[in-house]
Structure 1
Amino acid sequence: MDRPDIFTYIDYRHYLVDVFNFMKSSMRRFSLRSFAKMARSTSPNFLQLIRDRKLNIQSEGVLAFAESLGLTKKETEHFITMAAFDHAKTHEEKDRAFRSMIATREYRSVQVLEKSQYEYFTHWYLPVIRELVTSSEYPGDPAWLSRRIVPAISVSKVRKGIALLERLNLISRDETQGRWIQTKTAISTPSEVVSMALVNYHCRVIALAGESLERFSADSRDIRSVTLGIPRSAYGEIKQRMEAFWKDLLAYADTQANAETVYQVNMQLFPLTGDPKERRQ
């Protein structure tokens, strides 16, 4: 069993569990109590508490582990950032910690695909490029895509976007037809990364909806909203109706042979009132 490479992890809890299993396999008398002492913890069930998210490792624990394991400065910094990522209380803090992780050369060298997946979910214009680049109207010039996308993005971003889409196998080159085609590949990446990146994505496309009020004329967009007073029991039914409409819309779009333009469709359902019982707690 090889010693776990810290740069292949974004979850320090998984890392510590794997480190323990490695040390246990390497040293016959190594125990959970021995492992706890490495973090200068007096609790013999330290690892179980960490694993089950009932305990957060403190900064002194990270440094103690780093010293006991002989981690390098870069490895220790990655450990500290993993803890910051896990303990973040806001989306902004979590996103900042993750960006710090993927910015390091050591992490990038072993997690190239994961970084690309994060970038796909983070940048709103990548799905737009994916739709336009496979259009029969696309002349093969990234500058054409740059001019078509609203709000405009640079030609450099278009080129990088096409390369990323190909790297993720979301598009592929059909040499017989001399054009790009879409694949059905689904992106698979750790759930904590997806959820964080999707928050970035939704925030941006919701903002684009607001900007469209001034960017486009009324006959080329449709913006509507309604405020509903409903019993709590009706939430599930409304959500099901929205999901049914969403599936119907996607099915209809799939029947259209040639994409001449790209539209963004957002659907949101969120509360404007809180639970009085929760407020008193």
Structure 2
Amino acid sequence: MIDVSKISVFMYFDYRDFIRAVLETMQSKGLSLRAIQENAGVSGSAFFSRILDGSRPLSIANAKNIAKSWGLSVNESDYFLDLVRFGNEKNVDVREELLRKLLAVRANNQEFALQDSSLKFFSKWYYPVLRDLLPLLPPNMPAEKIGRMFTPVLRAPQVESGIRYLMESGFVTLDENGVYRVEQPIVSTPPRVRSTILRKYHLKNLEVNSEVYDLFTSDDRSVTSVTCSLSKESFEKVREEIAKLREKILALSREEKNPDRVCHVGFQLVNRAKVKEVK
């Protein structure tokens, strides 16, 4: 058994990052990859190399062998196995459930709970809007009045809980004059975590947009679409153009001197019909 107790598996959302950290520590102590692999009871040419480069997923059976070999406790082993399931899962709904389990375990540790609180930023469609709206308001504006600025309208308790969350997570601060300031905390998470969290956020925004569509006049909305035929190569070029436009819009926002509204700009590039190759 190899002791890796100094490396906490609870720090990770990506099982490959955890394995990489353990391997680097073991190798720094003079152990070879071959010896580590034999000790873990796993077989196959370049086993760990293929796991780490993503060409091969780690099976649950091998994950159990590794957890036992590395002396993980019951709780650590359970978290590690869920980490493997989360990393390998393709179904977005199952992945979301697994992420909730991982976050629930980390919630027992105050340090991780504080880090994870920022992941809730996209859990409510109005959190990002509220963050950008607060600095535009005069000091000490009542929550009820702030809520009426939203489309759809928010209730005062929603505004109050939103402000409390944004402040506790460091997204906004309140100065001595009662004016809110936007902060820019960096939330660094693996792509799987980001995609899992953002999926529900995007779906909710689409739902909200459909609900409030008729509340806007033509002066307050811009909704256009195009249906066209594309090759795979052109599809990727359109994706790149959307990314460039997104950056331009963000640059315009950063340079804005006198903002008077908070907007949500969405782009959708999806297949409506796909010609299958006839075999």
Q: Give TM class, smaller chain.
A: 0.7 to 0.9
Deviations 1:160-198 (A, max 9, x none): 4323323444322221x3210224x26341242223322
State the AA in 2 paired with 1:77: D
Deviations 1:183-241 (A, max 9, x none): 4x263412422233222222211222222235x25455443333234566655368537
Deviations 1:126-163 (A, max 9, x none): 11111232223463433433444344555444334323
Rounded Cα–Cα distance in structure 2 between residues aligned with 1:255 and 1:14? 40
CA contact (8 A) 1:142 1:159 kept: yes
Instruction: Name the SS of the counterpart of 1:181 in structure 2.
Output: strand
**For the structure 1 residues 103 and 2, does the alpha-carbon distance in structure 2 shift closer, same or farther, using more than 3 Å as the test?**
closer
Rounded Cα–Cα distance in structure 1 between residues aligned with 2:230 and 2:47? 46
Aligned position for 1:136: 137
Rounded Cα–Cα distance in structure 1 between residues aligned with 2:238 and 2:168? 40
Aligned position for 2:42: 41
Runs of 4+ in 1 over 6 A off after TM superposition: none
CA contact (8 A) 2:12 2:18 kept: yes
**For the structure 1 residues 47 and 128, does the alpha-carbon distance in structure 2 shift closer, same or farther, using more than 3 Å as the test?**
same
CA contact (8 A) 1:146 1:152 kept: yes
State the AA in 2 paired with 1:19: V
Q: State the 1:19 CA deviation.
A: 1.6
CA contact (8 A) 2:13 2:190 kept: no
Rounded Cα–Cα distance in structure 2 between residues aligned with 1:101 and 1:7? 8
State the AA in 2 paired with 1:59: I
Give unpaired runs (5+ residues) of structure 1.
none
CA contact (8 A) 2:41 2:65 kept: yes
Aligned position for 1:190: 189
Alpha carbon RMSD of aligned pairs, Å?
A: 3.2
Rounded Cα–Cα distance in structure 2 between residues aligned with 1:54 and 1:238? 26
Rounded Cα–Cα distance in structure 2 between residues aligned with 1:32 and 1:242? 41
Aligned position for 1:227: 227
Rounded Cα–Cα distance in structure 1 between residues aligned with 2:128 and 2:11? 28
**For the structure 1 residues 274 and 38, does the alpha-carbon distance in structure 2 shift closer, same or farther, using more than 3 Å as the test?**
farther
Aligned position for 2:162: 161
State the AA in 1 paired with 2:97: R
Equivalent residue in structure 1 for 2:20, among 11, 17, 20: 17
Deviations 1:59-108 (A, max 9, x none): 22222222222322211111011011101112222222111111124665
Aligned position for 1:126: 127
**For the structure 1 residues 196 and 65, does the alpha-carbon distance in structure 2 shift closer, same or farther, using more than 3 Å as the test?**
same
Aligned position for 2:271: 271
CA contact (8 A) 2:60 2:81 kept: yes
**For the structure 1 residues 107 and 13, does the alpha-carbon distance in structure 2 shift closer, same or farther, using more than 3 Å as the test?**
farther
* Residue 91 (structure 2) pairs with residue 90 (structure 1): yes
Rounded Cα–Cα distance in structure 2 between residues aligned with 1:107 and 1:35? 31
Aligned position for 1:69: 70
**For the structure 1 residues 64 and 237, does the alpha-carbon distance in structure 2 shift closer, same or farther, using more than 3 Å as the test?**
closer
Rounded Cα–Cα distance in structure 2 between residues aligned with 1:224 and 1:53? 39
Instruction: Name the SS of the counterpart of 1:53 in structure 2.
Output: coil
**For the structure 1 residues 68 and 276, does the alpha-carbon distance in structure 2 shift closer, same or farther, using more than 3 Å as the test?**
same
Aligned position for 1:101: 102
CA contact (8 A) 1:136 1:258 kept: no
Fraction of identical pairs, as percent: 22
Rounded Cα–Cα distance in structure 2 between residues aligned with 1:171 and 1:143? 19
Instruction: Name the SS of the counterpart of 1:172 in structure 2.
Output: strand
TM-score, length basis structure 1? 0.80
Give unpaired runs (5+ residues) of structure 2.
none
Q: State the 1:55 CA deviation.
A: 2.2
**For the structure 1 residues 16 and 159, does the alpha-carbon distance in structure 2 shift closer, same or farther, using more than 3 Å as the test?**
same
Q: How many residues align?
A: 273
State the AA in 1 paired with 2:265: V
TM-score, length basis structure 2? 0.80
CA contact (8 A) 2:13 2:189 kept: no
State the AA in 2 paired with 1:93: V
**For the structure 1 residues 67 and 169, does the alpha-carbon distance in structure 2 shift closer, same or farther, using more than 3 Å as the test?**
same
CA contact (8 A) 2:134 2:180 kept: yes
